[in-house]
Structure 1
C-alpha cells in the first residue's frame, strides 16, 4: 500500500503502514492550523489578493483530485462560448514534465501550441477538446491571467482548479463534488483526501455533483452540504460514454457490438480509477483485466512494457483507457497493440438546469 492510499483514507494493514498512518493523522492538526493562517493572511490584507480586469470563474473542489473538474470545465466553457462570450482557460499545469516560470500558451484561437509534457495532461486535454478557446498554463495564476488578457482579450477567464488559490480574486466559485465519494465520509489531509473542511462551501456560489445517474440517490449528500450553506444552488452532472476512439490513425472506432463481444483490458492513470472501470463496465461486457496506474502517470518504456505484457497475458482483443491518458500515449511510442479511449459526453440533469447554471456562471 502506498502513502497515497493512506492519504486517501485506506485502512493500514501491516505494522509499517499503521505507523505511517498514525504519523499522518498526527500531522492533521498542524495542516489545519497552517491552512487557517494562510487564509487569515489574505482575509486581513496582509497578503495581497490580485484582481484581473475581467470576470473570473473558478471550477474547483474540496478534495485531492478525481472530482470531475475537467469534464465540468469543458461543459462550462462550451456553454459560455455558445452564449457568445470570449473565454480563456487558466491552469497551473499540475505535474507537467517541462516546468517553467513563464506562462505557456497551450492553445490559441486557431491551434495547439504545446505538448502534454509542456502543458500537463489536463490542460492539453482541455485545449484539444475546446478548439478556438485559448488555454494558458502558469504556476502564477495572476501572471498567467494577465498574459491571457494581453493576448486574447477574454470576457471571462475560467480558473481550472483554484478554489484554494487565495492570491487570485474570483467572481464565481463552482465546487465540483464526486457523488461516488461522499464528503461526509472523508477526513482532512494528510490522513484524508480533503484539502479543506466542507465548511468552505460557505463561500461557494454553486455545487456541481459529478458522476450522477439519478439525483434522488444522493439526496443525503445534498442535505449534508446544505448544512454548511443552506442556500447553495446544487446541480447534477451525468457522464455518458460517447465514442470509443482508436489511438492509431486510420483504425475504425469500436462499435457497441465489439464492446459487448470482445475481450477488453482496462487501464488508466487518474485519481479515481474505479470510476472509469465502473463506467466502462457498463459498456464493455467482457473485462479481461484492469490496471490502475498513478494519477498523471508518465508513460515511459517500463510502463509501456507493462501494458504490452498485460495485453498478451490476458489474451485481450483491445486495451481501453481514458482520453486524459490517450493524450500522453499518442506521443509515447506505444507498441503496435490496439489501444482505444472513451470520449465522455456530459449532461446537466433537471429541467432548466442548463439555463440556471449559465445564469450563475454569468451573474453570481
Structure 2
C-alpha cells in the first residue's frame, strides 16, 4: 500500500532554529523577493532533501547519457569541497580539463564517465550557466544537487527521496536540509533504491521509481571482473551512505575480508594500499585514487521507468514556448 505522507513539522523540528531559517528563505523566494536568473535553454534540476546518499549522481548520469544523443548537455555543479573558485571547466564533451581536487569528486566522476557531455563547476550557478551557454554552446543544462539552489530558475525540478527520509529530522538533529513539506516545489518525485525494497507514497505529484541494475565489479580500466565469487576484497568507501554500499556487496555475495568506512568526500591522502590484498570501492572513490591494479569498483546502471519521457516532454514544452515567445539569457 502506498504510504500517505505527513508533511507537517513535528514538535522537535518546530523548536529547531534551522527550520525557521529554511522556511524564511523559501518564503522570500516564493514571494519573489529574491530574484532568480532564467536561461535561454532548458534547465533540469536533480536534487534531494537530505544530506547525501540518495543517488543524485546516478540519476544525473542516467539523464545526461540519454539526452546527450540529442543535445549538447552540460552538467552544472557547485563542485563541493573543490580546491578552486569561480567558473571551472571540468570537461568539454568528455575531454577532461581539470583534476579532481580542482573540480570536486562528484563533478570529476561524472566528467570521467560521460563521453559526450560537458561538466562545469561554479559556486555561482547563474554565472556558470552563462559560461556553459556562451562559451561551450550548451543546449541543455542539468543542475546537479539543485533543489536548494533556488537562485536559478529550473524548467523541471526532480526530487529524490529515500524511505528513511520520511521519518528523519532537520539538521542538525537529523539529515534533512528541508522539511518534507518542500516536496510541493518539485515537479516530480523519484523514490530511490527500489531494488533494495519496494516502497511507495501518496503525493499530488508524478512519482517515479529508481532501480539500480546490472551490477558489475570493474577494474581501473573499466573492464568487468569475471567470477567475482572467486575473490576476496577489502571494502572501503567515503560516500554519503557507506553502509548501503557494504550491504549491496553482501547482497551480491561478494566475499569481504574487512570493511573500512570514511566520511563523505574523503581525500585518501594517507590511505595505504597493500599489494597483498584486493580492494573494492565505489566509482566516486576510485576516481580520487592512483591507478592501482588491485583496486576494483562497483558499478551499475539506473532504470527509472517513464522518467525520460517525462523529461523529454518538458524539454519539448520549453522549446515550443521559446520559439513562439523568445527568451533572453540572464547572466
TM over 0.5: yes
Alignment of 1:167-182 (within 5 A): 167-178=151-162, 181-182=163-164
Which secondary structure does the structure 1 equivalent of 2:93 belong to? Answer: coil
TM-score relative to the length of structure 2: 0.85
Q: Distance in 1 between matches of 2:96 and 2:81?
A: 19
Q: Which residue of 1 aligns with 2:282?
A: 322
Alignment counterpart, residue 239 of structure 1, candidates 212, 215, 219:
212
The alignment's C-alpha RMSD in Å is 2.4
Q: Which residue of 1 aligns with 2:111?
A: 127
Counterparts in 2 of 1:211 and 1:320: CA distance versus 1, 3 Å: same
Alignment of 1:48-87 (within 5 A): 48-82=35-69, 84-87=70-73
Q: Which residue of 2 aligns with 1:355?
A: 309
4+ residue stretches of structure 1 with deviation over 6 A?
Answer: none
Counterparts in 2 of 1:270 and 1:86: CA distance versus 1, 3 Å: same
| 1:245-301 superposed Cα distances (whole Å, 9 cap, x missing partner) | 223x6x97421x2x2132222110001011111222233432212111110001112
Q: Which residue of 2 aligns with 1:184?
A: 166
Higher RCO, 1 vs 2 (CA within 8 Å, ≥6 residues apart): 2
Q: Which residue of 1 aligns with 2:5?
A: none
Q: Distance in 2 between matches of 1:162 and 1:126?
A: 16
Which secondary structure does the structure 2 equivalent of 1:182 belong to? Answer: helix
Alignment counterpart, residue 287 of structure 1, candidates 239, 256, 261:
256
| 1:95-116 superposed Cα distances (whole Å, 9 cap, x missing partner) | 11x121x200000125110111
Are 2:51 and 2:176, in contact at CA under 8 Å, matched by a contact in 1?
yes
Per-residue deviation, 1:363: 4.0
TM-score relative to the length of structure 1: 0.78
Q: Distance in 2 between matches of 1:291 and 1:214?
A: 22
Aligned: 1:94 with 2:102: no
Aligned: 1:106 with 2:90: yes
Paired positions, count:
307
Are 1:260 and 1:283, in contact at CA under 8 Å, matched by a contact in 2?
no
Counterparts in 2 of 1:320 and 1:133: CA distance versus 1, 3 Å: same
Q: Which residue of 1 aligns with 2:295?
A: 339
| 1:308-355 superposed Cα distances (whole Å, 9 cap, x missing partner) | 4xx86xxxx411000100000137xx6xx7111122211224xx5543
Which secondary structure does the structure 2 equivalent of 1:329 belong to? Answer: coil
Which secondary structure does the structure 2 equivalent of 1:154 belong to? Answer: coil
Q: Distance in 2 between matches of 1:207 and 1:242?
A: 24
Which secondary structure does the structure 1 equivalent of 2:50 belong to? Answer: coil
Q: Report the structure, 1 or 2, having the larger helix content.
A: 1
Counterparts in 2 of 1:241 and 1:270: CA distance versus 1, 3 Å: farther
Q: Distance in 1 between matches of 2:236 and 2:312?
A: 35
Which secondary structure does the structure 2 equivalent of 1:90 belong to? Answer: strand
Q: Distance in 1 between matches of 2:195 and 2:13?
A: 38
Q: Distance in 2 between matches of 1:296 and 1:28?
A: 30
Are 1:86 and 1:154, in contact at CA under 8 Å, matched by a contact in 2?
yes
Which secondary structure does the structure 2 equivalent of 1:31 belong to? Answer: helix
Q: Distance in 1 between matches of 2:47 and 2:121?
A: 16
Q: Distance in 2 between matches of 1:294 and 1:166?
A: 27
Which secondary structure does the structure 1 equivalent of 2:68 belong to? Answer: helix
Q: Distance in 2 between matches of 1:160 and 1:30?
A: 27
Which secondary structure does the structure 2 equivalent of 1:202 belong to? Answer: helix
Are 2:94 and 2:114, in contact at CA under 8 Å, matched by a contact in 1?
no
Q: Which residue of 1 aligns with 2:189?
A: 207
Q: Distance in 1 between matches of 2:94 and 2:259?
A: 38
Gaps spanning 5+ residues in structure 2: where?
1-11, 319-331
Per-residue deviation, 1:60: 0.5
| 1:109-128 superposed Cα distances (whole Å, 9 cap, x missing partner) | 25110111010010011111
